[in-house]
Structure 1
């Protein structure tokens, strides 16, 4: 059989947390603070709401670098999701998001700092493992991936 994955983790469900985002906060910084303050070392998150402006990134695979897109207008968060794992021994949020502008056009990508919240809600599901995955640099992709 073809090798379809590198490693498997089997976790038990932990806490389920819900948060209301503060008006004017940076979305990624807020998500990162939530996982750090609650010592969530592995899990997933989902968020929705609205933003005053946004920044997302796209990874250029051939160049192994991110390019960012600034969206300087109010938009709805249609869907935001991500995972939580360890990077350099600390909780780390990796999130992607889809926005909708006033014309109904969708924009999205890898969430980066610079997205300013209008209103929002977040759910976090903690997953319990004795040794959560750690992100380390992967030579092949140029990304920090789970090991």
Structure 2
């Protein structure tokens, strides 16, 4: 495990409310880039009309798609913003609730918002970076570096 303690007296929070029909990942990425958020913690709740989650398969080194073909409640959206190749990027996982109370979860690949999605982005300093790990096949958060 690698840990880096980050402390700073400054703080900034973005409240992002996505409208019906917007694609969630695209909307959040646009907002964090517009407001120049370099690194942050992200939480959210709301709903999707449809979407796609992913499960990372370590053998194929790809996300296996988990289709969400129905309206669901976003019960929990948790993630971060970190620099990837010099650009801030959202990395989020969600747990979605179905009408019958069952859930589906995974890495958020795409979500069509309905009726709304409320995202809280809490900036942290200094900027965090992702580094590609060739053994795993993913860009992983590197708390020891800053871009």
TM-score normalised per structure 1: 0.89
Q: What stretches of structure 2 of length at least 5 have no aligned partner?
A: 143-147
Aligned length: 140
8 Å contact 2:40–2:82 — kept in the other structure?
Answer: yes
TM-score normalised by the chain length of structure 2:
0.89
Instruction: After TM superposition, give the deviation of residue 146 of structure 1 in Å.
Output: 2.6
User: What corresponds to 2:89 in structure 1?
Assistant: 92
Please give the secondary structure, in 1, of the residue aligned with 2:12: strand
Match of 2:134 among 139, 144, 147: 139
**Structure 2 SS opposite 1:128:** coil
**Structure 1 stretches of at least 4 aligned residues deviating more than 6 Å after TM superposition:** none
State how 1:3-22 maps to structure 2 within 5 Å: 5-12=1-8, 13-22=10-19
Cα displacement string for residues 84-142 of structure 1 (whole angstroms, at most 9, x for unaligned residues):
110010111100001011111100100003x100112111100121xx22212102211
RMSD (Å), alpha carbons? 1.3
Give the conservation status (yes or no) of the 8 Å contact 2:16–2:28: no
The answer (yes or no) to whether the contact 2:55–2:106 under 8 Å persists in 1 is yes
